[in-house]
Every structure is written in structure tokens, then in C-alpha cells.
Amino acid sequence: MNAKKNWELLEQNDREIYELIAGEEDRQKRGIELIPSENYTYPEVLAATGSVLTNKYSEGYPGKRYYGGQEFTDQVENLARERAKRLFRCDHANVQPLSGSPMNQAVYLAFLKPGDTILGMDLSHGGHLTHGAPVSHMGKIFNFVRYKTDPQAQGKIDFDQLMKIAKETKPKIVLCGYTSYPRDYDYADFKKVADEVGAITMADVAHIGGLIAGGVMRNPFDYGFDIVTTTTHKTLRGPRAGLVLCRGGYAEIIDRSVFPGLQGGPHMHTIAAIAVALGKALQPEFREYAGKILKNAKALAGKLMAEGIKLVTGGTDNHMMVADTVASSGLNGREAETILDAVSITVNKQVIPDDPNPPLRPSGIRIGTPCATTRGMGEDDMARIGGWMVKALRSHKDQDDLAALKKEVEAFCRRFPVPGID
């Protein structure tokens, strides 16, 4: 429990790393983070991740470890599991996945054989790398069949077409989930499709886990889903890790797939931090916070659209939006990202549906409101930020204008402390 002393020792004994961490702290304080997969965690989470639990090897599960000395680690993991079950209203929770990719891999490997079919969202329409990207190992092992959204219908999914694809391809898993889709899902329709072809229903809610926990977005378990995966470091504000949540009948096979199937010893310091974040999410204040994220997203989207920025789904139902910067400003996503970085506004380049450009030079950017909301920014602030973004993109050739904007943005940010830093 000597956090201050530990930082002093780091400063004394590895000045290079100390200064790099200090530099990152400063960057986070003076700029606006608008990447939707990022957030500022709680100070208590930082304390847990930097705790002595990192010293302990806890291979196995509570009560069934391969090492001794598990008196406290078992209690930590059981607390995390019980809080996850309560928060997401499910029968079982595995809290050991190290991040988002292994949590999804564990599910695939639990139920499928190489070559089996998974029906998931097309990557350019919002799906994740682990939903079948050809460059991923999962994309090489399993047969991913993809559905798309309809850009002309504000990103809605044609479930008649989805049913047709499912009947033709007979997937073993029907997967709904996304990394850049600004809408909510109609889980009931996905369940109908899966039931028709005898498939397992799986929802990857990595981005919106906190919004589901906060009760402001739909919970797949309320619609009879079998398995839900979520990361803990985005809208949940926890450490960088993943959860696999399921109905009771799938608990044993999921646990075997995570350990010993995919991973060895769990990171107990991270599991403690997960428990902390889940405990926070169970408080009434978290529901209010989740609602503010959505209100801020709608305010920012409204301002951008009012200024002529094209959003690929014409708005948002969650914490994020995707802007077509080529159509809006003649800039590709990499150019737009670089320009906004220059004024201390951080976004990420992003492909748009059926993007004709390559992933490292795509046609859009992805924008989200969790970080800004965590710092206490509100709807009026979102409108102001949207105005700065538009001004930067449209006057990007004028370095004096960009320099003035940067000063304005950073002066604004000083009014909003960053949890765990300020």
C-alpha cells in the first residue's frame, strides 16, 4: 500500500520510463479523448492493478487451484464473479480472459471445430477483428459468413436477408456485436434467426457493456441469449480485461475453454480491479453516468450533422459515431485523425461501410463520448467540441488557426480533472 513510495522509486531507478508515463499523464490531461474504446478508469482500479496481487500465481479456479496460498485470491475472484452475475443478470461469469480477443476466442474454441461457420457482422460495417478478419487466426480457423447494414436505412439490419443467409450457411454461432456500429441491436430478431437454424446466440458487447450495466441499453440476456462477452475497460471504466457471461448450461464448457484451453494463470491484480469496477457499476450513480454518455453522444452527433458532417448511420443510439470525412471535408480518416491530434482532440481513423480505401487510409473517423463524460463534460460542451472539430478539419491548411485552436482546447480541458491523475 505504498503507492507514493513506489512512484518515487520508479523515478529514482528508471527515469526514462517514469518520464514517459508522466508525459502520457500530461497528454491525457490537456487534450480531449474521443476514441470510443477508451475511458479513464477509477483511482481505486489503478490501486488494484498496481497491488501485490500481481505477485501471485493462481492457475485454476477458486477452490481448484494448482498452487497454494490462495486464501485471498479465491475471495477476490468469487467477488468479481458474483458482481458480474448480478450486474448482467446471468447465471455464470468467467472473469479470467485477459482482454477482448481471447474472450471471444475462448467462446469459439469451446463450441466449434475448425471450419465450422459463424455468422457475424461485416468488419467495414462495424464488426470487430475477432469477428472473422482474414488476417486474424480465428478468420483462418473458422468459416465466417458476414451480414451487412443498410447505409440507406440509417444502418439498420435487414433481418429477412439475415435469415436467408443463416438458412443457406447453417452457422453454429449467430454473433451480434460491433466495434464501430452506432446503433443498438434488436436481440429478439437475432434470437429468432439463431433458433431457426439451431445456432448458439452470442453477443459481443465489448463497447457497450457499461451502458447495458447502467440500464440504458438492451441486455441480450433479457432476450434469451446464450453467451455475452464484454471488455471491462471501455464504458465499464475498469482495467483492460474481458468477461465471458453465460446461461448455466454453458458454464463448465466455457470455463474449460478459458483455462486450461486458452490461458494459463489469471492476472489476479486485474481481476481485483474488475471486481472494483463492477462494484462501482452496481451503484445508482453509475446508471446516471451511463445515461449522460448517451446524451452527450447525441449532442455531439447533432452538432456535427448540423455543421454538414456526414455520419454513416445518420446519428447514434449509443456512445459512438462514425463520420465519413471524405464526403464531409475531402480528407481521408488518417488525415483527419492527424489534424485533430494537432489541436489536442484524439479520435481514430475508421473504415466506413464497404470502404473503397485501405484500413490505414480509410474514409472516416470514429468518435465517442465516454472519456469526456467521465471528466464531467456535458451536452453544451459537446456542441463546443463539435464546433472545434469542424473548424480544425475545414481550416487545416492554416497553421496559425490550428495553433490557436489547440490553445483554446487545452485551456478548456484544464477545467475538467482526469480521475486518478488530477
Query: Strand (E) positions, 298-347?
Result: 310-311, 320-324, 345-346
Q: Which of 197, 201, 138 is nearest to 173 (CA)?
A: 201
Distance between start and end Cα atoms, the chain: 20
**Per-position b or e across 170-198, b if 16+ CB within 10 A of its CB:** ebbbbbbbbbbbbbebebebbbbbbeebe
CA 322, distance to chain mean position in Å, is: 15
Helix (H, G, I), strand (E, B) or coil at 275: helix
Backbone angles phi, psi at 66, to 5 degrees: -95, -5
Angle at 175 between CA 173 and CA 178, to 5 degrees: 160
- In a 13 Å sphere around the CA of 154, the CA atoms on its Cβ side amount to 6
Residue 227 CA to residue 194 CA, distance in Å, equals: 13
Among 29, 85, 146, 240, the active-site one is: 240
Cα 345 → chain centroid: 19
Helix (H) or strand (E) segment spanning residue 60: strand 60-61
The answer to whether 57 is a known catalytic residue is yes
- Residue 240 annotated as catalytic: yes
Gap between the Cα atoms of 293 and 208, Å rounded: 11
- Clarify whether 231 is annotated catalytic: yes
- From the list 25, 30, 38, 57, the catalytic residue is 57
Residue 252 is among the residues annotated as catalytic for this protein: no
Q: What is the DSSP string of 211-231?
A: HHHTTSS--GGGGT-SEEEEE
Closest CA to 362 of 371, 373, 350: 350
Residue 91 Cα distances to 277, 287, 319, 331, 347, angstroms? 19, 22, 27, 48, 37
Q: Which helix (H) or strand (E) holds 243?
A: strand 242-246
Q: Which of 148, 234, 237, 349 is catalytic?
A: 234
Catalytic residue among 25, 44, 59, 410: 59
Residues comprising the chain, all counted: 422
Name residue, grid cell 448511420: 313
Question: Is 234 designated active site?
Answer: yes
Annotated catalytic residue within 201, 229, 231, 374: 231
How many contiguous H segments (helices) and E segments (strands) does the chain have? 17, 17
User: Among all residues, which ones are annotated catalytic?
Assistant: 57, 59, 204, 231, 234, 240
